[in-house]
Structure 1
Amino acid sequence: MRFNCFQKNCYLFLFLSIATSAIAQESAVNNDRNANFHKAIRLYNNKAYAASQELFRNVSSNTEKHHNLKADADYYDAMCAIKLEQDDADYRVNDFVENYPYNNKKEKAFLTVGNYYFANRKAAHALKWYQKVNEKLLSTEEKNELNYKMGYALLVSNYLKDAKSRFKTLLGNPIFGNDARYYYGYIAYKQENFGEAEDNLSQLANDATYQAKANYYILDISFKAGRFDKSIQIGEQLLATTKDKKEISEISKIVGESYFNLKKYEKAIPYLEAYQGKNGRWTNTDYYYLGYAFYQQKNYESAIGNFNKIIDGNNEVAQNAYYHLAECYLMQDKKLEALNAFKNASEMDYDADITQSASLNYAKLSYEEGNPYKSVPEVLKEFLVKYPASPNATEISNLLVTSYLHQKDYQGALDFLTTSEIPESKNMVHEVSLYRGIQLFNENKITDAKPYFIKAKESENDTIRSKGAYWLAETAYLLGDYQNALENFLSVSNKEISEATMLNYQLGYTNFKLKSYPNAAKHFLQFLEQNLDDNDLNDDASNRLGDSFYASKSYANAIKAYNKVIEEGGIGADYAQYQTAMSNGFLGKNDVKINNLETLISDYNDSQLKDDALFQLATTYTTLNKTSKAQKVYDRLLTKHPESNYVPSVLLRQGLLYYSNNQNSKAIQKYKDVVAKHPNSNEARQAVTNLKNVYIDLGKVDEYAAWVQNVSFANVTNEELDNATYQSAENKFLENNNTKAIEGFNKYLQEFPKGINLLKAHFYLGQAYANTKSFNKAIPHYDYVAKQNKSEFTEEALTKLANIYLQKENWTLGMAVLKQLEKEANYPQNIIFAQSNLMKGYYKKEDYTNAIACAEKVLSTGKVDTTIAEDAKIILARSSFKNNDFPTAEEYFNEVSRKATGELKAECLYYNAFFLHENKEYEYSNKAVQDLIANYSSYKYWGVKSYIIMAKNYYALKDAYQATYILENIIKNFTQYKDVIEEAKNELRSIKNKEAKTNESVTTQN
Structure 2
Amino acid sequence: MAQESAINTDLQANFHKAMRLFNNKAYAASQELFRDVSQNLNKHHNLKADADYYDAMCAIKLQQDDADDRVMAFVENHPYNNKKEKAFLNVGNYYFANRKAAHSLKWYQKVNEKLLSPQERDELNYKMGYALLVSNYLTDAKSRFQTLLGNPIFGNDARYYYGYIAYKQENFGEAEDNLSQLANDATYQAKANYYILDISFKAGRFDKSIQIGEQLLETSKDKKEISEISKIVGESYFNLKKYEKAIPYLEAYKGKNGRWTNTDYYYLGYAYYQQKDYETAVSNFNKIIDGNNKVAQNAYYHLGECYLKSDKKHEALNAFKNASEMDFDPQIAESSSLNYAKLSYEEGNPYESVPDVLKGFLAKYPTSPNTAEISNLLVTSYLHQQDYQGALDFLNTSENPETKSIVNEVSLYRGIQLFNENKIEEAKPFFINATQSENATVSNKGAYWLAETEYSLGDYQNALENFLKVSDNEIEEAKMLNYQIGYTNFKLKSYPNAAKYFQQFLEQKLDDNDLNDDASNRLGDSFYASKSYTNAIEAYNKVIQEGGVGADYAQYQTAISNGFLGKNDVKIQNLTTLINDYEESQLKDDALFQLATTYTTINNAKKAQDAYERLLAKYPSSNYVPSVLLRQGLLYYSNNNNSKAIQKYKEVVAKHPNSNEARQAVTNIKNVYIDIGKVDEYAVWVKNVSFANVTDAELDNATFQSAENKFLENNNEKAIEGFNKYLQAFPNGISALKAHFYLAQSYNNTKQFNEAIPHYTYVTKQNKSEFSEESLTKLANIYLQKEDWNNGMLVLQQLEKEANYPQNIIFAQSNLMKGYYKKDDYNNAITYAEKVLTTGKIDTNIAEDAKIILARSSFKNNDFLTAEEYFNEASKKATGELKAECLYYNAFFLNENKEYEASTKAVQDLIANYSSYKYWGVKSYIIMAKNYYALKDAYQATYILENIIKNFTQYPDVIEEAKNELRTIKNKEAKTNESVTTQN
What range describes the TM-score normalised by the shorter chain of this pair? over 0.9
Q: 1:659 is matched with which residue: 637, 659, 666?
A: 637
Question: Is 2:224 the partner of 1:220?
Answer: no
The equivalent of 2:913 in structure 1 is: 935
Match for 1:151 among 129, 135, 149? 129
1:264 aligns with 2:242: yes
User: Where does structure 2 lack aligned partners over 5 or more consecutive residues?
Assistant: none
C-alpha deviation, 1:35, in angstroms: 4.1
Q: Please give the alpha-carbon distance, in whole angstroms, between the structure 2 residues aligned to 1:325 and 1:262.
A: 21
* 1:249 matched residue in structure 2: 227
How much does 1:636 deviate?
2.1
Which AA in structure 2 matches 1:278?
Answer: K
Q: For residues 635 and 332 of structure 1, what CA distance do their matches in structure 2 show?
A: 79
- What CA deviation, in whole Å up to 9, does each residue of 1:324-352 have, x standing for no partner? 11111110111111111112222222222
Instruction: Give the match for residue 13 of structure 1.
Output: none
2:783 and 2:69 map into 1 onto residues whose CA distance is 94
Structure 2 Cα separation of the partners of residues 286 and 538 of structure 1: 70
After TM superposition, list the pairs within 5 Å mapping 1:670-709 onto structure 2: 670-709=648-687
**Mapped partners of 1:415, 1:275: distance in 2:** 57
Q: Which residue of 1 aligns with 2:82?
A: 104
Give the alignment partner of residue 173 of structure 2, picking from 195, 203, 213.
195
Normalized against structure 2, the TM-score is what? 0.98
Residue of 341, 344, 366 corresponding to 1:366: 344
Amino acid at match of 2:181: Q
Say whether residues 1:431 and 2:415 are aligned partners: no
Q: Which one of the candidate residues 875, 893, 897 is aligned to 1:919?
A: 897
1:878-908 per-residue CA deviation (whole Å, 9 max, x = no partner) reads 1222222221111111111111111111111
CA deviations on 1:292-331 (whole Å, 9 max, x unpaired) are 1001000000111111111222222111111111111110
Q: Which residue of 2 aligns with 1:758?
A: 736
Structure 1 match to 2:159: 181
1:820: which partner in 2?
798
Q: Pick from 764, 767, 771: which aligns with 2:749?
A: 771
Give the CA RMSD over aligned residues: 1.6
Match of 1:883 in 2: 861
Which stretch shows the higher mean deviation, 359-368 or 272-281?
Answer: 359-368
1:473 is matched with 451
Task: Note closer, same or farther for the CA distance 1:43–1:754 as it changes in structure 2 (3 Å cut).
Answer: same
1:740 aligns with 2:740: no
Map of 2:501 onto structure 1: 523
Q: 1:617 to 1:82 in 2, by over 3 A?
A: farther
Number of the residue aligned with 2:212: 234
Match of 1:728 in 2: 706
Relative to structure 2, which stretch is displaced further, 716-725 or 152-161?
716-725
Q: Using the aligned pairs only, state the percent identity.
A: 85
Q: How many residues align?
A: 984
* Shift in Å, 1:248: 0.8
Aligned position for 2:323: 345
> Do residues 483 (structure 1) and 461 (structure 2) align?
yes
Residue 496 (structure 1) aligned with residue 468 (structure 2): no
Of 36, 42, 48, the residue aligned with 1:64 is 42
Which letter does structure 2 place at the counterpart of 1:286?
D
| 1:448 is the counterpart of 2:426 | yes
Determine which of 550, 560, 566 is the counterpart of 1:588. Answer: 566
Give 1:568-967 correspondences, 5 Å limit: 568-967=546-945
Whole-angstrom distance in 2 between the partners of 1:624 and 1:95: 144
CA change 1:719–1:95 in 2 (3 A) is same
**C-alpha deviation, 1:369, in angstroms:** 1.2
Query: Which structure 1 residue ranges, 5 or more long, are not aligned?
Result: 1-18
User: What is the aligned counterpart of 1:421 among 390, 396, 399?
Assistant: 399
Helix, strand or coil: the match of 2:691?
helix
Provide the rounded CA distance (Å) in 2 between the counterparts of 1:695 and 1:525.
Answer: 56
Q: AA paired with 1:303?
A: A
CA distance in 1, matches of 2:769, 2:23: 123
CA distance in 2, matches of 1:773, 1:493: 38
2:127 maps to a residue whose letter is K
Deviations 1:595-642 (A, max 9, x none): 322222222222211221222222222223332222222222222222
Amino acid at match of 1:251: I
In the TM superposition, residue 356 of structure 1 has moved relative to its aligned partner by 1.7
Local SS of the residue matching 1:714: coil
User: Highest CA radius of gyration, 1 or 2?
Assistant: 1
Greater shift in the superposed pair: 881-890 or 183-192: 881-890
What are the superposed Cα offsets for residues 666-714 of structure 1, whole Å, 9 maximum, x if unpaired? 3332222221111111111122222222323333322222222111111
Q: Which region of structure 1 is more displaced relative to structure 2, 750-759 or 908-917?
A: 908-917
Work out the CA distance in 2 between the residues paired with 1:100 and 1:339: 83
Which amino acid is the alignment partner of residue 101 of structure 1?
P
CA distance in structure 2 between the partners assigned to 1:207 and 1:719 by the alignment: 133
Q: Structure 1 CA distance, aligned partners of 2:540 and 2:389?
A: 46
Matches of 2:810 and 2:320, distance apart in 1 = 52
Please name the residue that 2:300 is paired with. Answer: 322
Report the secondary structure of 2:396's partner residue. Answer: helix
Rounded to whole Å, the distance in 1 between the matches of 2:180 and 2:142 is 17
Looking at structure 2, the residues matched to 309 and 824 of structure 1 have their Cα atoms a distance apart, in angstroms, of 66
Counterpart of 1:394, as a letter, is: A
Counterpart among 946, 958, 969 of residue 980 in structure 1: 958
Q: Secondary structure at the match of 2:350?
A: coil
For residues 586 and 51 of structure 2, what CA distance do their matches in structure 1 show? 122
- Map residues 8-19 of structure 1 onto 2, 5 A cutoff: 19=1
Aligned to 1:11: none
CA drift of 1:423 comes to 4.0
Find runs of 4+ consecutive structure 1 residues off by over 4 angstroms. Answer: none
Superposition deviation, residue 415 in structure 1: 2.1
Which residue identity is paired with 2:950?
K
Aligned to 2:544: 566
Per-residue CA deviation, residues 722-778 of structure 1 (Å, 9 max, x unaligned), is 111111111110010111111110111111111000000000001011111111111
Counterpart residue type for residue 858 of structure 2: S
TM-score (norm 1): 0.96
Task: Tell me by how many angstroms 1:60 deviates.
Answer: 2.8
Structure 1 residues 36 and 591: alpha-carbon distance in aligned structure 2, compared to 1, 3 A threshold: farther
The partner residue of 1:390 within 368, 388, 392 is: 368
Offset of residue 981 of structure 1:
2.1
Per-residue CA deviation, residues 492-525 of structure 1 (Å, 9 max, x unaligned), is: 0111111000001101110110111111111111
> In the TM superposition, what are the counterparts of 1:399-418 in structure 2 within 5 Å?
399-418=377-396
Shift of residue 169 of structure 1?
Answer: 1.4
Q: Residue type of the partner of 1:739? A: E
Bigger mean CA deviation after superposition, 696-705 or 781-790: 696-705
Shift of 1:936: 1.3
Amino acid at match of 1:401: V
How many Å apart are 1:438 and its aligned residue?
0.9
2-side partners of 1:467 and 1:188: how far apart?
84
2:448 maps to amino acid: Y
Q: CA 1:33–1:576 in 2, change beyond 3 Å: closer, same or farther? A: farther
Deviation at 1:31, TM superposition (A): 4.3
Q: Distance in 2 between matches of 1:346 and 1:330?
A: 16
The 2-side partners of 1:637 and 1:66 are apart by 141
Q: Distance in 2 between matches of 1:96 and 1:627?
A: 144
- Please tell me the residue identity of whatever aligns with 1:647: V
User: What is the distance in 2 between the residues matched to 1:281 and 1:345?
Assistant: 24
| One-letter amino acid of the counterpart of residue 557, structure 2 | Q
